[in-house]
Amino acid sequence: MKPVQQSSVAVIGVGTMGSQLLHRLAADGIAVTGFEQFDIGHQRGAAGGETRIFRVAYKEGGDYVPLLREARTAWQELSARAGVPLLEPCGAMTIGSAEDPDVRTVADVTERWGLDVERLDHREAARRFPQHRLFPDDVVLLDRQGGLLHPQRAIVETTLLAEKAGARLHTGAIVEDVTDDGNGVAVHFRRGEEVQVEKFDQAVVCTGPWITRSVPVLARDIEIRRAVLCWFETAENWGPERFPVGIRRSGGENTFSFFPDVGGGVKINLHVPKSIVDDPDVLDPVVAPDYVARVSAAVSRCLPGLPSRPAEVRTFMEGYTADNHGVIGRDPDRPNVLVMGGFSGHGFKLAPVFARAAAELLRTGRTDVPIDHLSLSRLR
Ligand SMILES: Cc1cc2nc3c(=O)[nH]c(=O)nc-3n(C[C@H](O)[C@H](O)[C@H](O)COP(=O)(O)OP(=O)(O)OC[C@H]3O[C@@H](n4cnc5c(N)ncnc54)[C@H](O)[C@@H]3O)c2cc1C
């Protein structure tokens, strides 16, 4: 691997990770070019679907807390620079049985790190968040450092900031190959019928649900899965200031993430096994009626003020690893290529800090961001 001084980097895929990396590298004075197959801020990748949760009391484990704290500051700084809120600090709830492993982890992480998490008794929870019907053994936790991210806005605004800092951008550019001769890389990309090649010192491949196509060797480590999101129409009291984002773990199928109405209705993501996507170019938009019925039943039990059926149902996709942690590291076959992928349904919030890690790896081959648990070798 050749360390970057003032040399050049190609970022393949300008979505969640790519936009952050483009911005980070350009701000650091690196000559960086982004390649995006669609337009910036499109809905077809892993970032589609209007909103994302930001949490610090992390059910995925306390090792993430330093990364999440840094990411929160980064989102606030990016919001200030962009002049629009990318992160809305509405808080993030965890509601569920004290025996549930995720609820227990959130409580443990809170205690271990002394996090700003409020534990509400049922009377107080009912007064402040009457939308939730609580079950007798539900614990209610409010992570006051949590909030709501606007993914499309974040990708568009961060890319604009990157361009202002000097990044080059090719949109509508499908990268077909990145070859590495040991001294540098050649990016082969197609626009319509025309195939072009540009050369760089290094490349980062962060193509989200297309990662196993871009880096076939990752097909044994990352599985692309389909997620179904449902939007329920609301009247009032369901905006971020009254109904924070959160995760419900109240047993059985009452396990889902919930998102306030920011225009399209309250969004629900039921946490059940997801189907495999064979080809990310042809994501199946058809959702079986019995799946919609399961989501509706969970909503009726837990959020009885919502309508009995969703107004909109849409499908999205994401790469998952076996242990649900992403991958950041060198391509085993191409020394000048870094790969970032498989963020397993929780990568958006961490993108600014993952981008800092990647930028440091490009520059020096090392990073002080604690990402050992994201190494490719751990999966093999
Ligand atoms: C339904 C759903 C809900 C989620 N909820 C949350 C949440 O609440 N909180 C959270 O933190 N995370 C959440 N996540 C996870 C998070 O959104 C993802 O981890 C993150 O968006 C992944 O970013 P990425 O850069 O890998 O992929 P993407 O954002 O999809 O970016 C990849 C980009 O690469 C481009 N590309 C692909 N192939 C090529 C090519 N050959 N040439 C050029 N460009 C190419 C794509 O068009 C795309 O723009 C959720 C994910 C899903 C699917």
- pLDDT tens, 242-297? 999 999 999 999 999 999 999 999 999 999 989 999 999 999 999 999 999 999 99
| Tokens matching residue 363 | 């520059």
- C-beta of 295 in contact with ligand 1 (< 6 A): no
Where do the domains of the chain lie? 8-47+152-221+323-379, 52-60+86-146+223-318
pLDDT of residue 343: 98
Residues 280, 222: contact at Cβ < 8 Å?
no
Cα–Cα nearest to 256, from 235, 277, 234, 230? 230
174 lines ligand 1 (CB under 6 A): yes
Residue type, 300: S
Superfamily of domain 52-60+86-146+223-318: D-Amino Acid Oxidase, subunit A, domain 2 (3.30.9.10)
What is the pLDDT, as a whole number, of residue 2?
53
Highest CATH level, class, for 8-47+152-221+323-379: alpha beta
Quick one: CA torsion of 86, 90, 91, 96, rounded to 10 degrees?
-110
Please give the single-letter amino acid code of residue 249: R
H or E stretch covering 158: helix 151-164
Q: Could you tell me the distance, in angstroms and rounded to a whole number, from the CA of residue 204 to the centre of ligand 1?
A: 15
> Where do the H-state alpha helices sit in 265-374?
289-302, 351-364
Of residues 380, 371, 314, the one with CA closest to residue 347: 371
Residue 354 CB less than 6 A away from ligand 1: no
Helix/strand/coil for 318:
strand
Nearest CA to 167 out of 29, 26, 17 is that of: 26
N-term to C-term CA, the chain: 22
Cβ(65)–Cβ(115) under 8 Å? yes
Residue 137 tokens read as 């053994």
Pairing of strands 185-191, 31-36: unpaired
Ligand 1 centre distance from Cα of residue 264 (Å): 20
At residue 6, the pLDDT reads 53
Picking from 297, 295, 347, the residue whose alpha carbon sits closest to that of residue 317 is 347
Q: Could you say which residues of the chain have pLDDT below 70?
A: 1-6
Q: At 55, which amino acid appears?
A: R
Report the nearest atom of ligand 1 relative to the CA of 257: 8
Question: For the stretch 313-329, what's the b/e string if a residue is b when 16 or more beta carbons lie within 10 angstroms of its beta carbon?
Answer: bbbbbbbbbeeebbbbb
